[in-house]
Amino acid sequence: MSKIEIKNFNLYYADFHALKNINIYIEEKKITAIIGPSGCGKSTLLRSINRINDTIDNVSTSGIINIFGEDIYGSKIDVDTLRRNVGMVFQRPNPFPISIYENVAFGLRVNRIASNKNIIDETVEKSLKAVLLWDDIKDKLHKLALSLTLEQQQRLCIARVIAVAPHIVLLDEPCSSLDPVATQRIEQLMIQLRDKYTIVIVTHNMQQAARVSHDTAFMLLGELIEFDKTEKIFTNPSKKETEDYVSGRFG
């Protein structure tokens, strides 16, 4: 069963048709990459999966996005619960200007998942270990999160997301502000996390998509041009537009 099923999905910013009849099936506990030139709708599609686009004025949608068989645009959906189950990490690390510990604990408190200090302590430690940050900062938990390196801050943001036990993790250009060494470490982290989470990543870096993902979607001008196994997309795509993009002829 697909973790995410998108059927005939359209999104408009006022009169602008940003996503055009998207159909895609994203499998559970795999990494799916979304690639394409700037302005093609990659991030808009990603943000549709946890309805962050709802915060923008004059956005309207049609079609269906099912997560475990439930339409997330249906009238019975609690959006706060949806966003807890579908966590998101943004392009630039955005830790809160509070301690490392409180960053990870934040979602547990706000969502009333835990209030017992021992449970919060255990979850903070488990989450930081999951992103391979614990050994580096276990003696600095009460220092300001902004004192960390950019790579550590991005790991912390991922820890903050997984602390509330989501099913899906969305990554919007998570390495765009990082140097090549830090990028490699975040990629290794994604590969380690994919056995526990369904991960969808938007990236301009086609080499990154090739390295980390099982499946790849290529988008152009708001349309899904091709979706297939990553190896096929990069070595034997079915559509000329895909071949032109991955070969560097445009984009």
Domain assignment present for residue 241? The answer is: yes
pTM of structure: 0.92
What is the chain's alpha carbon radius of gyration, rounded to the nearest angstrom?
18
SS3 label, residue 201: strand
State which residues form the domain around 29: 2-246
* Contact assessment for residue 220 and residue 245, using Cβ atoms and an 8 Å cutoff: yes
Distance CA 239, CA 218 (A): 10
Domain assignment present for residue 251? The answer is: no
- What CATH number does residue 13 fall under? 3.40.50.300
Identify which of 172, 174, 167, 129 has the alpha carbon closest to the alpha carbon of residue 153. 174
Q: How many domains does the chain have?
A: 1
Predicted pLDDT of residue 8:
97
Distance CA 53, CA 57 (A): 9
Helix (H) or strand (E) holding 103: helix 100-110
Q: Which two tokens stand for residue 131?
A: 């992103």
Domain assignment present for residue 6? The answer is: yes
**Phi and psi at residue 177, in whole multiples of 5°?**
-105, 10
Distance CA 137, CA 119 (A): 19
* Contact assessment for residue 219 and residue 35, using Cβ atoms and an 8 Å cutoff: yes
Predicted pLDDT of residue 104:
95
Distance CA 179, CA 126 (A): 27
Domain assignment present for residue 188? The answer is: yes
- Mean pLDDT per block of 10 residues along the chain (251 residues) reads 87 95 95 95 96 92 93 91 92 94 91 83 95 94 95 95 94 91 91 92 94 96 97 95 87 57
Number of Cβ within a 10 Å radius of residue 26: 23
Predicted pLDDT of residue 82:
92
Predicted pLDDT of residue 68:
82
Identify which of 135, 164, 146, 52 has the alpha carbon closest to the alpha carbon of residue 92. 146
